[in-house]
A and B are shown apart, each in its own frame.
Chain A
Amino acid sequence: MKKIIISSGLIMLCITLNAQTKIKVKNDKTKSNITYSMNHPLHQWTGKSEDVSSILLTDDTKRYFYSVAVSVKVSSFNSQNANRDSHMMEATEALIYPTVTFSSTVLNRKESILLGQGNLTFHGVTKLVVFASELKTVGKNIEITGNFVVKMTDFKIEPPSLMGLSTDDEIKIFFVIVY
């Protein structure tokens, strides 16, 4: 009888450990941001958005990451030049496609590295992107930082031009998201 109780106890513990409680955690908007970097033959610039919305599906210890979704408005990017930001709005048809979204399809955490892939929707076109990011625990929060590169033409966006010269097709994206 004793053996049965101990075995059952152990097995129930296994089941409990395996079936963790999933919780949705919103990002801390004051600490999260996304920056893009672009090149033009005449200059290089960055635009930063501090209005990033994200939800992470995790367990109550924030050790396991099941999935993540991120959304950012194109109009929220500030490159310190209103004309340029307006030009980006025009090039990306941001009034018709106002947000850029990402939803993960795979997330693999290996210690302080988070490998992920998912669907990035930009200019109404969805493409699969893969990224590696770094995880840091800051107090009770988790900070995820990483970057990846996208090509505008992949998303059916014509690279904007200035003085008759087009920008590079590539946009480098850097992100810091704190949960």
Chain B
Amino acid sequence: MNKLLFLIIIFSLALVDLSAQTDSTYQDTTKTQSVDLLNDLNSLSDSSDQLLPKHMLFTQRILWGKKGMMRHFNRFELTLEKRQRELKVRRTMLITHQIMGFATLGGMVGQGFVGAHLYKLSNSLPENDLQRDKIKSTHEMLAGAVDVGYFATAALSLFAPPKMFNERKGYSSIKIHKALAVIHLSSMVLTNILADLTEENNVMKKYHRAAAYTAFGSFAAAMIIIKF
């Protein structure tokens, strides 16, 4: 009887031992199990992403929309790989947008000094006419450079390939950046229109200056807001 009991115990212990795996086999099994779990997850998930956001600027839609002009080129067909490359194009355009923005802001600061100097000279004696003409010429030259810089900066953003997502709900620095862009774009256009009008009407000078300062202030603020 004791012999039988002994045999049962030994047999059972062997079973228990087989069931309880060693550390290394346990780890291997766990690894296989995890891979299986991952396969389960992959089979459940939907990996497709929308390639274009629902909302985009009309300037972007003309070029980069589903039926945009750029879609006629093989390089910019709407596929995963090509859209991924397109995002790199977007990045390059936005980096250039940032660099040109800084350069334009520098030009605006210079233009502010030159403009203020010209404003003072505009009411001075006729003997200062030569100096005034020189300053005016510099002011016009700088204005041309600032205009080219400004509108090129704007174009780089307006015509860049669209981002991946629609705007998120709530506050974001980029939303304020865009709101300020509306202000400085309108003031820049107004500054140029008023510059032409000052030639005929001296009263327009103060409005020209106010528009220029608004453009500069909102342009600088649009850059600073990106920090937040």
Q: Give A41-88 interface residues, CB cut-off 8 Å to B.
A: 42-43, 53-55, 57, 66-71, 73, 75, 78-87
- Give per-residue flags for A85-113: 1 if the beta carbon is below 8 A from chain B beta carbons, else 0: 11101100111101101011111000000
Contact between B98 and A95 (Cβ–Cβ < 8 Å)?
no
Chain A contacts for B45, CB-based, 8 A = 53, 71, 73, 99
Count, chain A residues at interface, CB 8 A: 56
Nearest first, the 4 closest Cβ-Cβ pairs linking A and B are A86-B163, A69-B37, A103-B34, A11-B12
For the complex, is B168 an interface residue (Cβ under 8 Å from A)?
yes
Contact between B168 and A69 (Cβ–Cβ < 8 Å)?
no
| Known contacts A18-B19, A85-B165, A89-B164: A57-B33 contact under CB 8 Å | yes
Which of A1-9, A130-138, A149-157, A170-178 lies at the binding interface? A1-9
Contact between B9 and A43 (Cβ–Cβ < 8 Å)?
no
Contact between A80 and B171 (Cβ–Cβ < 8 Å)?
yes
Contact between B16 and A14 (Cβ–Cβ < 8 Å)?
yes
Complex-state Cα separation, A7 to B78, whole angstroms:
72
| Known contacts A82-B174, A106-B30: A71-B4 contact under CB 8 Å | no
For the complex, is B130 an interface residue (Cβ under 8 Å from A)?
no
Chain B contacts for A7, CB-based, 8 A = 5, 8-9
| Known contacts A7-B9, A162-B226, A164-B98: A69-B84 contact under CB 8 Å | no
Q: Give B153-201 interface residues, CB cut-off 8 Å to A.
A: 163-168, 170-174
New A-B pairs, 4, CB < 8 Å, besides A18-B19, A43-B228, A69-B41: A4-B1, A7-B5, A103-B38, A164-B95
Contact between A82 and B167 (Cβ–Cβ < 8 Å)?
yes
Contact between B8 and A4 (Cβ–Cβ < 8 Å)?
yes
Chain B contacts for A57, CB-based, 8 A = 33-34, 37
Complex-state Cα separation, A111 to B179, whole angstroms:
53
Complex-state Cα separation, A137 to B167, whole angstroms:
37
Q: Give A111-162 interface residues, CB cut-off 8 Å to B.
A: 118-119, 161-162
Picked from A67, A78, A95, the residue with its CB within 8 Å of the CB of B84 is: A95
Binding site for A on B (CB under 8 A): 1, 4-5, 8-9, 12-13, 15-16, 19-20, 27, 30-31, 33-35, 37-38, 40-42, 44-45, 47, 49, 51, 53, 80-81, 83-84, 87-88, 90-91, 95, 98-99, 163-168, 170-174, 226-228
Binding site for B on A (CB under 8 A): 1, 3-4, 7-8, 11-12, 14-15, 18-19, 24, 42-43, 53-55, 57, 66-71, 73, 75, 78-87, 89-90, 93-96, 98-99, 101, 103-107, 118-119, 161-164
Contact between A104 and B34 (Cβ–Cβ < 8 Å)?
yes
Contact between B8 and A82 (Cβ–Cβ < 8 Å)?
no
Complex-state Cα separation, A19 to B12, whole angstroms:
13
Contact between B9 and A11 (Cβ–Cβ < 8 Å)?
yes
Chain A contacts for B95, CB-based, 8 A = 161, 164
Complex-state Cα separation, A87 to B88, whole angstroms:
9
Complex-state Cα separation, A84 to B94, whole angstroms:
12
Complex-state Cα separation, A94 to B48, whole angstroms:
11
Closest to B15 in A: A15
Chain B contacts for A99, CB-based, 8 A = 42, 45, 47
Contact between B8 and A53 (Cβ–Cβ < 8 Å)?
no
Contact between B20 and A18 (Cβ–Cβ < 8 Å)?
yes
Chain B contacts for A12, CB-based, 8 A = 12
Contact between A90 and B90 (Cβ–Cβ < 8 Å)?
yes
CB distance from B83 to the nearest CB of A (A): 6
CB-defined A-B contacts under 8 Å, sample of 10:
A4-B5, A7-B8, A42-B226, A53-B44, A54-B41, A67-B30, A98-B47, A98-B49, A105-B30, A163-B226
